Amino acid sequence: MQNANPDTSPAQPQPWFRTKAGRIALSILMPLFTFFLLWQGFLFLRDSEAPQIVIVLVAILWGVGGVALLFTILNLVVEQLPEVLRQNIQPFVFVGPALLLLTWFLALPAFRTLLLSFQDATGRKFTGIENYIFAFTDRVMLEAFRNNLLWMLVGTFFCVSLGLLIAVLADRSRYENIYKAIIFMPMAISFVGAGVIWKFVYTYKGEGAGISEIGLLNAVVLALGGTSQPWLQQPPWNNLFLIVIMVWLQTGFAMVIISSAIKGISSEVLEAARVDGANEFQVFFRIIIPSIQGTLLTVTTTIVIFSLKLFDIVRVMTGGNNGTNVIANEFYLQRFTYGHAGRASAIAIVLLLAVVPVMVYNLRQFRDRKAFL
């Protein structure tokens, strides 16, 4: 065999995988073998009757190992290429999989959903803006918009102001970390779990002899001389009782971010103001608030977006009944309960449009950053 590789001198015998033919064979065989291995794993996971614990372990190993293996093999193949080609292709081994997934799972779906939103329930016929007329005029949707507005205004207001209050107060206490850990704890709990916790607080048994309320809220109301209420069934107040759950979950987030911003204020400035005779309220409104303005804006935006997309709490607590429906729940109902992909898509587009201002803001911030390029 004629040796055309300039790197190899004929004097030394080469191991077979360093020869050109060996490298070509390797770069074809390795991916094939990897693919075969992964395919076998997939079949095992799909069809196996093994005990669940075995399946779970194999699944973890297959999923994590598979991705690592894919990167390694892809890179191995690329490194067999000539220098110039390699330099052009290698970056795409690194960013390619991410870009592929981003395109498939987020970028492309935005356009596909837009297309679907102009079609009928099953996506067979174009119906123009009919779904958008539904989204903006239907009684159910208007109620959902009203409720989302309530979530965004009331929920965000209480999350941010309570978070600010706790952050400022905790900053002056010796037991700061304990308080903060307690307020922060719900961040680790799922909305479904939080739903169960608060459903139990609100539970209602009704009036009658020998019935004792087992829900905390009704027991407190009874002890104060009131009558027990089915809290989650009385519109419009039930919305507020649901919002309480979000405040319980998200105040910790606001508190942590605000707290770290407060710690960033220079203590000299605060000290100087106090020496000049400013009282604590003046320090708070004239120094602390202006210094953390940017942080407050970020926190508020994040929680507003969060409450815009809110789904789990409403789904678990009331299913959207009794006047508690929200946009994201109506999206779910339209697609999965009524099977109307067109309307669901239109609702998703409405959600997307609502976050466009934030998206534009993020992009502007990014453009102003010098770090890139």
- List the interface residues with another protein, window 44-73 (CB under 8 A): 45-46, 52-53, 55-56, 59-60, 63-64, 67-68, 71
Q: Which of 1, 11, 84, 98 binds another protein (CB under 8 A)?
A: 98
Helices (H), the chain: 20-47, 52-79, 83-102, 108-116, 130-137, 139-150, 156-170, 176-184, 191-202, 216-223, 237-263, 267-275, 280-282, 289-291, 293-308, 312-317, 327-332, 341-368
Helices (H), 138-190: 139-150, 156-170, 176-184
- Select from 19-27, 125-133, 282-290, 356-364 the region that touches another protein (CB under 8 A): 356-364
Q: Which of 308, 314, 326, 333 binds another protein (CB under 8 A)?
A: 308
**Of residues 190-229, those binding another protein (CB under 8 A):** 190-193, 195-201, 203, 209, 212-216, 219
Q: Please compute Rg for the chain using Cα positions.
A: 29
Q: Can residue 262 be called a binding residue for another protein (CB under 8 A)?
A: no
Token couple for 265: 């204020």
Token couple for 285: 């409104």
Q: Can residue 269 be called a binding residue for another protein (CB under 8 A)?
A: no
- Residue 40, classified by CB atoms within 10 Å of its CB into exposed (0-12), middle (13-18) or buried (19+), is exposed
Distance in Å, CB of 276 to another protein, minimum: 16
CA separation (Å) from 263 to 170, 177, 184?
11, 14, 17
Residues 278 and 309 sit within 8 Å (Cβ to Cβ): no
DSSP 3-state assignment of 173?
coil
CB atoms within 10 A of CB 194: 19
Q: Can residue 246 be called a binding residue for another protein (CB under 8 A)?
A: no
Q: Can residue 90 be called a binding residue for another protein (CB under 8 A)?
A: yes
Q: Can residue 274 be called a binding residue for another protein (CB under 8 A)?
A: no
CA 188 to chain centre: 13
Q: Can residue 248 be called a binding residue for another protein (CB under 8 A)?
A: yes
The whole-angstrom separation of Cα 182 and Cα 271 is 30
Nearer to another protein, 3 or 126 (CB): 126
Q: Can residue 21 be called a binding residue for another protein (CB under 8 A)?
A: no
DSSP 3-state assignment of 229?
coil
**Of residues 173-192, those binding another protein (CB under 8 A):** 173, 175, 178-179, 181-192
- Select from 1-9, 19-27, 138-146, 294-302 the region that touches another protein (CB under 8 A): 294-302
Residues 114 and 349 sit within 8 Å (Cβ to Cβ): yes
Q: Which of 102, 129, 140, 289 binds another protein (CB under 8 A)?
A: 102
Distance in Å, CB of 260 to another protein, minimum: 6
Run of H or E including 363: helix 341-368
Q: Which of 131, 147, 250, 345 binds another protein (CB under 8 A)?
A: 345
Which amino acid, 321? N
Q: Which of 35, 94, 284, 338 binds another protein (CB under 8 A)?
A: 94
Distance in Å, CB of 306 to another protein, minimum: 7
Give the CA count within 13 Å in the CB-facing half-sphere of 291. Answer: 19
**Of residues 121-150, those binding another protein (CB under 8 A):** none
Nearer to another protein, 3 or 178 (CB): 178
Distance in Å, CB of 227 to another protein, minimum: 14
The whole-angstrom separation of Cα 193 and Cα 184 is 15
Nearer to another protein, 98 or 224 (CB): 98
